[in-house]
Amino acid sequence: MSSKILIIGACGQIGSELTFKLREIYGNDNVIASDISYNNLDVVNSGIFEIIDAMDYKSVKICVEKHNIDTIYLMAAMLSATGEKYPMKAWDLNMTSLFHVLDLAKAKFIKKVFWPSSIAVFGPTTPKQDTPQYTTMEPTTVYGITKQVGERWCEYYHEKYNVDVRSIRYPGIISWKTLPGGGTTDYAVEIYHEALKNKSYDCFLSEDTALPMLFMDDAIKATVDIMTANADAIKIRSSYNLAGISFTPKDIAASIKKHIPEFKMSYTPDFRQAIADSWPSSINDMEARKHWNWQHSYDLEAITKEMLTQLKDKY
Ligand code: AKB
């Protein structure tokens, strides 16, 4: 299982934990972490780290050649909420970085690519419950548009140029090591920090907004599983639906109250409510389960227990 890996966007919420996991599997020297700045010292200090601007083809290529990279995980992206503030920046970053990596694979500098898509590819005309793999997709956010278009390009590069690109439509990801930044599902992480710090949380989504979510350990497992599966098991080269659990802000508040009875939740929906309302509330991921044996482990109660235990010492 020898592989030389580059993670672009290694300082972010998912990139950081992916870096730690891949270093565990492949060894520290075989996993090069990179980001645009040194903004996560745990990652920077855990092994080889390079400053890379994902928008700059040359700097990515130089790093690939310097370290004999054969596999890239492209985790740099502007997420849904920030993308609505800077639409053209989101478009530029999300698309340009993807083309750079796909072109490196097309030119045979690298062999394999992981690129995350998102439930943001879906929109208000998509069936909301148990959203199937193949369905109407009319995303209303710039982030969702970049992910939908990106999926088409991934499939195109696979079909036309035989590029081994693999992708998952991540739901909201809940984790304690690194904070998420700029997403609509971020409330489901912030709430645990605020519950421990202030015993209260003012949620930017309304109490009944159900969204698909996944604990980080499950998300990392899915990422490793899809990347280590045999190429012929990967029958979908756009991106796979992936589900863990679905819950509302009211559900997560109730789950926290079991551990912190005095916890108080209030609701002040902002512009992110419209984004959440345009997304599915639950996902059907039978293709991922069938093709490469995906299964999740954490339910809401297990997530709450783990989040509060891990974050307790911080506050
Ligand atoms: C976001 O909220 O923008 C992301 C996502 C669901 O892709 N977490």
* Amino acid letter for position 43: V
What pLDDT is recorded for position 3? 87
Residues 254 and 203: their CA atoms lie apart, in Å, by 14
* Amino acid letter for position 299: D
Which of 185, 186, 214 best tests ligand 1's pocket when mutated (most atoms within 8 Å of CB)?
185
* Separation of CA 1 and ligand 1 centre (Å): 31
3-state secondary structure 161-192: HCCEEECEEECEEECCCCCCCCCCCCHHHHHH
- In the chain, the domains with their CATH numbers are 5-171+216-241 (3.40.50.720), 173-213+244-312 (3.90.25.10)
Continuous segment of H or E residues that includes residue 238: none
- Answer whether 184 contacts ligand 1 (Cβ < 6 A): yes
Known catalytic residue: 26? no
Residue nearest to atom 7 of ligand 1 (CA): 118
* Separation of CA 101 and ligand 1 centre (Å): 21
How crowded is the C-beta side of 44, counted as CA atoms within 13 Å? 9
- Cα–Cα distance list, 236 to 89, 102, 155, 294 (Å): 29, 17, 8, 14
Using an 8 Å Cβ cutoff, are 153 and 145 in contact? no
| Rg (alpha carbons) of the chain, rounded to whole number | 19
- Answer whether 119 contacts ligand 1 (Cβ < 6 A): yes
287: its two tokens: 């293709």
Which numbered atom of ligand 1 lies nearest the CA of 147? 7
Catalytic annotation, pick one of 57, 73, 143, 201: 143
| pTM of this structure | 0.97
How crowded is the C-beta side of 238, counted as CA atoms within 13 Å? 13
- Cα–Cα distance list, 25 to 2, 20, 71, 80, 307 (Å): 10, 9, 14, 31, 24
Contacts of 1 (CB under 8 A, 6+ apart): 25, 26, 228
Sign of CA dihedral 299, 302, 305, 311: negative
Name the phi and psi angles at 66, rounded to 5: -60, -40
- Answer whether 172 contacts ligand 1 (Cβ < 6 A): yes
> How do the pLDDT tens digits run along the chain, 315 residues long?
578 999 999 999 999 999 999 999 999 999 999 999 999 999 999 999 999 999 999 999 999 999 999 999 999 999 999 999 999 999 999 999 999 999 999 999 999 999 999 999 999 999 999 999 999 999 999 999 999 999 999 999 999 999 999 999 999 999 999 999 999 999 999 999 999 999 999 999 999 999 999 999 999 999 999 999 999 999 999 999 999 999 999 999 999 999 999 999 999 999 999 999 999 999 999 999 999 999 999 999 999 999 999 999 888
